[in-house]
Amino acid sequence: MSDKIARQIQKSYTAEEQKRKVHKLGTICVQNGIDEIDLFNFVRNKRAVEDFDWTS
């Protein structure tokens, strides 16, 4: 029973943490005039560099 409660607490904490990260990212994007397409391109390019570094 305590494992179930611990999992619920962890899920709640994780959801709240994710919510804070999304809010912070949204704030940064608005402050810097970054739209969804720019954000998508940033992430895609970062992953491409990481993949290249990993395979090099």
Token pair for 30: 């608005």
pLDDT at residue number 21: 94
Per-residue pLDDT of the chain (56 residues; tens, 9 = 90+): 688 998 988 999 899 999 999 999 999 999 999 999 999 999 899 988 877 777 76
> How many structural domains does the chain have?
1
pLDDT at residue number 54: 75
pLDDT at residue number 18: 94
Global pTM reads 0.60
Residue 29 near residue 35, CB atoms below 8 Å: yes
Q: What is the b/e burial string over 2-29, where b = at least 16 CB atoms within 10 angstroms of the residue's CB?
A: eeeeeeeeeeeeeeeeeeeeeeeeeeee
- The residue segments making up the domain with residue 16 are 2-55
Single out the residue of 42, 5, 47, 9 nearest to residue 25, CA to CA.
Answer: 42
